[in-house]
A and B are shown apart, each in its own frame.
Chain A
C-alpha cells in the first residue's frame, strides 16, 4: 500500500527510497522544492489530512538539519514521514501554516530550539518556552547542556562527589601497591 503510493508519487516528485518501519509507518526523503506540492497532494488526494508532528534532527557531522513532517491518514491508519534537509550553516525552512495552522506552533518551537527560520510564519520570532534565552539554540548538538547548567545554576553548598575508580584505589590498595 505504502509502496504503491511511493511508486505512484515517484514519477512526479524527486523522492528517496521508501524506508518502511512497520506495515503502516514509512519514511521518505523529499527535495525541499517539492515539499509543498507533495504535502498538498497527500492531504487532498491521498487522505493524509492530519499533520501529526513537525520536528527536526541535528545531523551535525553532515552539516545539515533534517525536518520531519509526520503525515497521518486516519481512515486508512497510515503514517508517512517526509524528510527534508536544510543547510545547517543557513537553516531556512518553508512555512506551511497556511496548510495546517498548527504548523505555526511547531515552527515557532523549531525556531527557538534549533534556530531554524520559517519566514512568514505567524509569531515565529516570539519566545516560545525559553524566556530571555541568549545562548545558542539548546537542541543543537553543539550546545553543551551540562556546561550551561553548571554556569547558570549554582550548586548547593557541601556537595562532594567521588570517582569510583580512585575511590576504590584509595580504599582497596592505598599506597605503594601499584
Chain B
C-alpha cells in the first residue's frame, strides 16, 4: 500500500506548474561526469554476499537474494537494488570490503514497468555492466580498520628457558578496537565447526558486556578458554574482513571474554542443570574435548554421566599433547571445573578394556560414548627405529606433562612437518636450554616450505627459538654406532632429498633424489608423523560386530556406530582439532539424548 507521502507528493508538486522548468527536456544521450554515481555494477565473482551494503543503505533499497550455493566465506547471496528507493549516495560502494560493488556513470533509463528498476547488478545483464567510468571507492579509503590489533608476546629470549604462556591476551582497549572492525556479517559462523555465534560475542565485547559474551560462548562451546588460546581458527579464513586487510582476530577476542570473567562468576553464569534427574545413565570413555563436551550436554539434560579416563588427569590431548606455553594447565582446569560442576563424574586412572570392560559399561549404562582420541604414535618403520633413542612425539609430550623424566640430549632430530612436530621440537628446545644452556633441535619434513603442514606462526616461532627446520627431506635410516663404547646408540638420521610426495593419482608415494644424501647428527630421533586410535580396548567380539571404514569406526551423521548403544566422537572418528571434537561432542549428546528421551517415553 502506498504511504501518505506517495499520495500527497503529486499535489505538492502542482505549485511549480507555472514556473519555468529547470530540467533538461531530453537527458538521454548526455554523458555524466566521469566519477558520477549512476546504476550499480557488481563483480559477482568478487562479491561474497556479506550483506554490508544492505545494512548500511539508509533507504532500505537493498535485498540480499540467493544466487548460488553458499560455500565457506560466501553466502551465495547477492544484493538486489530497488532504484525506486536508491538515492545514489554510494554508501554501499564505500562499505563494500571486497570492492566488488561500484557505480557506473550511467543514470538514464526509461521503462514503464516499475519492477524493471529492481534488479541484481552483475547477475541481471545491463548495458552499463562494462562501463569503465563511474564511482569507485577511492584506494586508501576503508570504513573499517584494515589492520589487526597486534598481540603482545614474550620475546624469544624470555620464553626459551621456560614453559610460560607466550601470548599475552588483549587489553580491553585493544579488544575494543579489534571488535570494532567486525561488520557482524556472520559469514564466519558456517565455517566454525561448532558454529559459534561469533558476531554476537564480538558485539558483546563492543558493549563491554562480558557476562553476556560468556553466556553466548557457552551456548556452543564449553571449551572457550582452551579454544580462545589454541583453536585452529578456520573461521578467520572465511572472515569478510580479509578482503580488505587482516581477518578479525576471532580467536583472541574469544579468549578476551573468558579472561575477563572470573572463575566464580563463570560458574554463576553457566549455573547447574535445571532439569530433574532422568535416572538414565551414560558412560563416556575418554576425557578429551569430545567426551567432556558430550558429558556437559548430557548432564545438563539431567542424565547421570560418568567419564572414564585412562590418565590421572582429564583433558586428553589438550593436557597431554598441547604444550603448556601455548595452553597453561590452569586455563584447561577452569574449563573442566565448569563441566564437573554440572554433576559429571570423572573417574581418572581407569583404562577401559583393562580395569573395566566395554561389556560391563554396556550392561551398566543406557548408552556408551567412545571418545578415546588418537594416542598411539605412528612410526616411519625405517631401519633403526627399533631400540633405544627413538621416541614418538606424543609419548614424549605426555611424559613431559606428567612430570616424568625424559631424555634430553644435546642434539635431537624430529621427523615430521606438522604442528605436533613443532610442539615437540619447541618443548625439547626449552628442556635443552635449561639443561645444557643451548638449543640443538633439527626438524626434517617431507614437504617443502611452500607446502608445509605446520602453521606459519609455529614455523616462525620455532625458528626464533633456535630450532633448525630442513624441508623436503625423506628419512631413510636411523643410523647407530657400529662399534666403540657408544655401540648401538643413535648417531643420526640418514635422509634423501624429496622430489615429489604424491603420485599423479594423488596417492602418498614419495620419490627421492638418492644422490642428495645427508646424515643429520643426533643422539635422539623423535617421530612426529601421526597418531592412531587404540581400538584394542573394544575386544574381539565387539570389534567383529562393529562396522569399520578404512580402519576407523564407522559412524552416522549423529555419531552413532552400527551398535545401537554405542556412539563415537572426536579424533577417533573425525578430527583434526579441539573445536571439531567439541562439535562432535554436541552432536553425539543430541543423538544420545534423543534416544534416552524416547526410552523415557516408552517406560512411562
Contacts and interface: CB of A to CB of B under 8 A. Distances in A.
Interface of A: 131-132, 145-146, 149-156, 158-169, 171-173, 176-178
Given A163-B186, A168-B189, A149 B59 contact: yes
Given A145-B58, A146-B60, A152-B3, 18 more contacts: A131-B12, A146-B57, A149-B85, A153-B3, A155-B82, A161-B62, A162-B77, A163-B64, A164-B187, A165-B190, A165-B199, A167-B64, A167-B77, A169-B189, A171-B69, A171-B70, A173-B190, A177-B195
A172 B65 contact: no
B558 interface: yes
Nearest to B199: A165
A52 B473 CA distance: 70
B58 A156 contact: no
A138 to B, nearest CB: 10
Contacts of A165: 75, 185-187, 189-190, 199
B118 interface: yes
B44 interface: no
Interface stretch (B48-56, B206-214, B259-267, B490-498): B48-56
Contacts of B60: 146, 149-150, 155
Q: How large is the interface on B (under 10, 10 to 19, 20 to 34, 35 or more residues)?
A: 35 or more
B124 interface: no
Contacts of B118: 156, 159
Interface in B44-91: 49-51, 54, 57-60, 62-66, 69-70, 75-77, 82, 84-85
Nearest to B594: A176
Contacts of B65: 160-162
A164 B66 CA distance: 9
Contacts of B51: 163-164
Contacts of B58: 145-146, 149
A94 B3 CA distance: 39
A156 B119 CA distance: 13
B5 interface: yes
Contacts, number: 103
A25 B221 CA distance: 54
Contacts of A164: 49-51, 64, 75, 77, 185-187
Contacts of B195: 169, 173, 177-178
Contacts of B256: none
A161 B114 CA distance: 19
B66 A156 contact: no
Interface string B114-145: 11001000000000000000000000000000
Contact of A176 (B3, B12, B77, B590): B590
B1 interface: yes
Interface string B77-118: 100001011000000000000000000000000000011001
B29 interface: no
A116 B120 CA distance: 41
Contact of A168 (B62, B190, B586): B190
Chain B CB within 10 A, most for which of A131, A155, A172: A172
B2 interface: yes
A149 B3 CA distance: 11
A176 B591 CA distance: 9
Given A161-B64, A162-B65, A176-B558, A154 B3 contact: yes
Given A131-B12, A161-B54, A152 B5 contact: yes
Contacts of A173: 190, 195
Contacts of B545: none
B557 interface: yes
B561 to A, nearest CB: 18
Contacts of A160: 63, 65
Nearest to A173: B195
B587 interface: yes
B516 interface: no
Interface in B333-364: none
Contacts of B12: 131-132
A156 B115 contact: yes
Contacts of B77: 162, 164, 167
Shortest 6 CB-CB contacts between residues of A and residues of B: A165-B186, A164-B75, A161-B63, A145-B58, A168-B190, A168-B70
B190 A169 contact: yes
A29 to B, nearest CB: 27
Contacts of B190: 165, 168-169, 172-173
Given A163-B51, A164-B50, A164-B77, A154 B2 contact: yes
B6 interface: yes
A164 B64 CA distance: 8
25 contacts: A132-B12, A145-B58, A149-B59, A149-B60, A151-B3, A152-B3, A154-B3, A154-B6, A156-B114, A156-B115, A159-B118, A160-B65, A161-B62, A162-B65, A164-B49, A164-B51, A164-B75, A164-B186, A165-B185, A165-B189, A167-B64, A167-B70, A171-B69, A172-B70, A177-B557
A168 B75 contact: yes
B3 A159 contact: no
A168 B64 CA distance: 12
A166 B185 CA distance: 10
Nearest to A158: B115
A178 B590 CA distance: 9
Contacts of A166: 186
Contacts of A149: 58-60, 85
Nearest to A161: B63
Nearest to A165: B186
Contacts of B70: 167-168, 171-172
Nearest to A176: B590
B98 to A, nearest CB: 13
A153 B85 contact: yes
Interface string B587-601: 100100000000000
A159 B185 CA distance: 20
